[in-house]
Amino acid sequence: MEVIKLENIYVAYSGSDKPAIMDINLSIELGELVLITGPNGAGKTTLIETCLGLLKPLRGRAFLLGINTKSPRIIRARRQCSYVPQNFMKPPYESYTVKHVIKLGLASFKLPFEPINKNEEERIKEVANLLGIKDLLNKPMGMLSGGQQQRVIIARALVRKPKVLFLDEPFSSLDHDARIHVAKIIKSYVEEYRASAIIISHDINPVMELVDRVIEMENGRIIRIRSRV
């Protein structure tokens, strides 16, 4: 089953004549772990945001879990995905606690007045334990270091049990050991839940051994796709 399908995609930001990504044809299957790499300005984040339907293509068609990203039904597809954005850092005055931030990951599944249930509370603790942030659950986000905040956002992504995980530079604020640890968590999640993960990373070392495919981008184009032998 294809979770992502991009057909001849061109995306340009408003006010810019030059497309940020162009001539993109890509298909990602369920259960695949894919690494997207390339220099700054290559179009990696634009590609992920196009897959999620946050950016609409000028030309071509993009499908997420079989739904055209231009369709209003894309919201349903997004509910089966998680996103770890590149800009996750919150300022020191941010008062939302770690537990609250992880809980917010479940917001899109909730009906009006519907509270978080016991199973979900347990799941939050479980994921926090997995990422080594259990002791931080009652701390405000603004008081945490960059690495801790990054773990919280990854925990929020995992608590949703997504079919597709989009991770934009998920190792950027982590030290060497934590990078290896988080990479392994992502790999085991993909295997356990038969999910797909699309990781953008400059630092390919922590995940190189774990991924199924490496997509290299430059100047808004895919220049090479390598499959793991």
Task: Give contact residues for other proteins (rule: CB under 8 A).
Answer: 13-15, 52, 54, 75-83, 85, 88, 93, 95-96, 100-101, 103-108, 110, 112-113, 116, 160, 166
CB of 206 to other proteins, least distance (A): 23
* Interhelix angle 118-130/146-159, nearest 10 degrees: 140
C-alpha span between 156 and 164 (Å, rounded): 14
CB of 180 to other proteins, least distance (A): 26
CB of 79 to other proteins, least distance (A): 4
164 HSE (CA, 13 A, CB side): 24
Q: Which of residues 85 and 147 has its CB atom nearest to other proteins in the complex?
A: 85
Q: Which residue carries 């956002």 as its tokens?
A: 153
What is the chain's length? 229
User: Which residues are registered as beta bridge partners of 224?
Assistant: 216
CB of 229 to other proteins, least distance (A): 33
Q: Which of residues 34 and 102 has its CB atom nearest to other proteins in the complex?
A: 102
Q: Which of residues 42 and 84 has its CB atom nearest to other proteins in the complex?
A: 84
Q: Which of residues 54 and 180 has its CB atom nearest to other proteins in the complex?
A: 54
DSSP, res 32: -
Q: Which of residues 85 and 218 has its CB atom nearest to other proteins in the complex?
A: 85
Residue 112: count of CB within 10 angstroms of its CB: 4
CB of 141 to other proteins, least distance (A): 9
Q: Which of residues 114 and 177 has its CB atom nearest to other proteins in the complex?
A: 114
C-alpha span between 104 and 150 (Å, rounded): 15
DSSP alpha helix (H) spans, 113-175: 118-130, 146-159
| Two structure tokens written together for 132 | 């080594």
CB of 213 to other proteins, least distance (A): 22
User: Which residues are registered as beta bridge partners of 67?
Assistant: 64
